[in-house]
Amino acid sequence: MRIEATAVTISWIPSESVGGPLKAGFDLRLSHYDSPPPDHLDGVGQVRELRDADAFRFANVLAVWADVEDGQVRAHGVTPDTGLAMGATTVRVAGVGATFQAASLPVLRREPEALADGGVRYVQTVGGRTGVPLPRPVPHAPFVRWQAPTVWTTVAVDVHPDGSTGVELLGASPFPRHWLYAPSGDLVAKSVVTDQATWMNHAFGPRTPWHDEDRAAHVHPVESALEHELSVTIMRGGTAPTVRRLAEGDTLTRQGEPGDALFLVLDGVLRVDVDGRAVAEVGPGAVLGERALLEGGTRSSTLVATTPVRVAEAAADAIDLDRLRELAEGHHREEIA
């Protein structure tokens, strides 16, 4: 029996993730932000289509196969689809566009690892840097950099003798946003923090996987399909939400206090506390605060930032009440034992 499995990461730049001088260039439309990638990929062909449409910055495609006989993996390898899909950057000045091809770094692929159940694990790192110069001071010699920082992801695919598979985002550059897709094509996890400052100051030279230094990826499972739908409404509805930033340890809401706003987590992780007890964590894409709007205007939980966080704060009428009730029915964090 042959088992085939493909893991994909797509890395893209959301509008709310960019700040400082880099944001000025985007706001002047010298370059563009990216729209969120799809929730489902229809194979590697769609990855190529998205690349050709300049819809992401780069993608890591790890496609593997394994032949299983009598409950043992007898042979395994990677397919020709495996590797890096690196995008290009188009800069526009006075209506004239110039496209800069990104610089791709060599694909790093570890020796396959035997799993305890007789399966096999493949691990691959891909990345590079944009062809557009990004001059800036940095805290490392020579203290000024002309080239853009490095971007990368490190992804793993496990194939088991029973036919099951698994994927994991092991490492990633601190910027931009990275999304992980399972062999089914479904989006299964997201990097939770986009740290532009760390990326610009440190992600080059010896502080990259090409010098044996990866950066652990902080990931979180994806939100529900309903939350994804509502997040689009919040961000692209009639009234633009207010984007708030919280430092690690800051409190967004307090249980028992009045509240009349809805929140969408854009970046980072919030801990949900009820009666002084942590009951859940929520990450990018989560929509919060609906119970106060439905149940008398009082917050049912305390939300505390466990990482730096960005949230979009929307007015109570951003989502109709029927959708909020549907959302509340799926949220039972306060009832977790």
The pLDDT value given to residue 316:
81
The pLDDT value given to residue 6:
98
Q: Pick the residue with more confidence: 101 or 19?
A: 19
The pLDDT value given to residue 248:
97
Give the residue-averaged pLDDT of 193-201: 94
pLDDT in tens, 294-334: 888 899 999 999 999 999 999 888 888 888 889 888 776 55
The pLDDT value given to residue 337:
34
Residue 272 near residue 279 (C-beta atoms within 8 A): yes
The pLDDT value given to residue 332:
60
Per the DSSP assignment, residues forming a β-bridge with 172 are: 153
pLDDT in tens, 86-96: 986 665 555 55
Q: Is residue 176 reached through a cis peptide bond, with omega within 30 degrees of 0 on the bond before it? A: yes
Per the DSSP assignment, residues forming a β-bridge with 300 are: none
Token pair 């509805």: residue = 237
The pLDDT value given to residue 100:
63
**What does the buried/exposed string (b/e) look like for 237-259 if buried means 16 or more CB atoms within 10 Å of the residue's CB?**
eeeebeeeebeeeeebbebeeeb
Average pLDDT, the chain: 90
Q: Tokens at residue 69, please? A: 């006989």
Architecture of the domain made up of 225-335: Sandwich (2.60)
> Helix, strand, coil proportions of the chain in percent (round to 5)?
20, 40, 40
Q: Is the pLDDT of residue 173 over 60?
A: yes
The pLDDT value given to residue 336:
42
Q: Pick the residue with more confidence: 236 or 44?
A: 44
Q: Tokens at residue 321, please? A: 């009440």
Helix/strand number for the chain, H first, E second: 6, 25
Q: Domain locations in the chain?
A: 2-221, 225-335
Residue 270 near residue 304 (C-beta atoms within 8 A): yes
pLDDT in tens, 240-250: 899 999 999 99
The pLDDT value given to residue 55:
92
Q: Tokens at residue 150, please? A: 């490095």
Distance CA 264, CA 223 (A): 11
Give the residue-averaged pLDDT of 264-287: 95
In 3D space, the residue among 32, 155, 45 whose CA is nearest the CA of residue 97 turns out to be 32
Portion of the chain with pLDDT greater than 90, in percent: 69
